[in-house]
Amino acid sequence: MRVLAVVIRILKQFLHDKRTIALMIVAPIIVLTMLSLVFNGEELEVEIGVIDAPTSVIDMIDQENVSVIKLDSDINPEDRIKEENYDAILSFEEGKMNILLEGSDPSLSNGIINTIKQSSNTDTKSTPLSIEYLYGSQDMTTFDHFGPVLVGFFIFFFVFLIAGVSFLRERTQGTLERLLASPIKRSELVMGYVIGFGLFTTIQSSIIALYSIYVIDLKMEGSFMYVLLITVMLALSALTLGILLSAFAKNELQMIQFIPLVIVPQFFFAGLFNLETISDYLSWLGPLTPLYYGADALRDVMIRGQGFSEIWVDLLVLGGFSFVFIVMNVFALKKHRRI
């Protein structure tokens, strides 16, 4: 009977918490739907530019999911890859085949090399083959390709979770109410929490970035200071978002329930999966998430070795997300006190 009493008590708790019941059913359905749209999306179309290539070679390379574009011989292959986002440029010069790969995705690069070799039926002993990489190298691993995304994701995830739960605890323990009973303004309170938690998240981001690059030896072509700047901006957006959503949670369980709805979808759009293959029904969500811009900037610096001129837009958008979340936090505190 005592066991039955405990069972009935638990069931009543669930029945009174309709949001928990809804999320237990809705959240898995949403995640599974997203996975279906990600893995059953469009096939990746590879774009290869060709310069002075024999017609027979072009015809054999130009197959399903491979788009071949003829280019003028006077163009700069490196500039064209940067400007037009070609995956590779194939050129023939004095009986020599030259392949310039974009190179940031090793699996895609290897696939292009195999496609060109098989399609052209080239005997590398009689036709010299030169393979160059604009970014990366033949020694670049899949982990190097995914590394920047994982760094950004784990920083965002743990900052979001810790900030949300910590701010929720401030509210449930009565600390927030006591502060709101003082003359402090809502905006001052929010900024105080953001700066206070922000100092900790800056240290956390620095340690994670240092460990990833200098201990587990992730590929690093650019400046570490840019990586640090990106991770701090990404952590700030996660911090402000976590504080915002904690205002709508009554306990830690409800805060954790936001993870499949807020964090998991961002994981799909951060670049761990090729964004060109994601279904059109889902791809429009990517630019609406902070992690989309953070991961893009980290890849630009860590893999492509680019500088501030290439990542400033991503940083600006991350700053914009944080500003919007801070403003929303101020309004979210209205239900606790009006000033």
Output the pLDDT for position 312.
93
Instruction: Tell me the β-bridge partners of 132.
Output: 100
Question: Which range, of 106-115, 232-241, 285-294, averages the lowest pLDDT?
Answer: 106-115
Amino acid type, 220 = M
Residue 225 near residue 311, CB atoms below 8 Å: no
Residue 143 near residue 218, CB atoms below 8 Å: yes
pLDDT class of 339 with cuts at 50, 70, 90: very low
Output the pLDDT for position 243.
86
> For domain 46-133, which architecture applies?
3-Layer(aba) Sandwich (3.40)
pLDDT class of 91 with cuts at 50, 70, 90: confident
Closest CA to 337 of 204, 185, 136, 118: 185
Listed by start position, the domains of the chain span 46-133, 142-335
Q: What is the mean pLDDT of residues 184-202?
A: 80
Q: What is the mean pLDDT of residues 210-236?
A: 89
User: Structure tokens of 82?
Assistant: 């940067």
Share of the chain above pLDDT 90, in %: 13
Output the pLDDT for position 231.
92
Q: In terms of C-beta distances under 8 Å and separation of at least 24 residues, what long-range contacts does 199-202 make, across chains too?
A: 201/159, 201/163, 201/232, 201/235, 201/236, 201/238, 201/239, 202/232, 202/235
Q: What is the mean pLDDT of residues 254-259?
A: 80
What is d(CA 184, CA 303) in angstroms, rounded to the nearest whole number? 46
Q: In terms of C-beta distances under 8 Å and separation of at least 24 residues, what long-range contacts does 326-333 make, across chains too?
A: 326/190, 326/191, 326/194, 326/240, 328/244, 329/190, 329/240, 329/243, 329/244, 329/247, 330/186, 330/187, 330/190, 332/244, 332/247, 332/248, 333/180, 333/186, 333/189, 333/190, 333/247
The H or E element that residue 37 is part of is: helix 18-39
Output the pLDDT for position 324.
92
Q: Which residues contact 163 (CB under 8 A, 6 or more apart)?
A: 197, 201, 238, 239, 242, 243, 246
Residue 290 exposed, middle or buried by CB count within 10 Å (0-12, 13-18, 19+): buried
- pTM comes to 0.82
Map residue 104 onto helix, strand or coil. Answer: coil
Q: How many Cα atoms within 13 Å fall on the side-chain side of residue 179?
A: 18
Residue 53 exposed, middle or buried by CB count within 10 Å (0-12, 13-18, 19+): buried
Amino acid type, 251 = N
- Give pLDDT tens digits for 103-152: 888 888 887 777 777 765 544 445 667 788 888 777 788 888 888 888 99
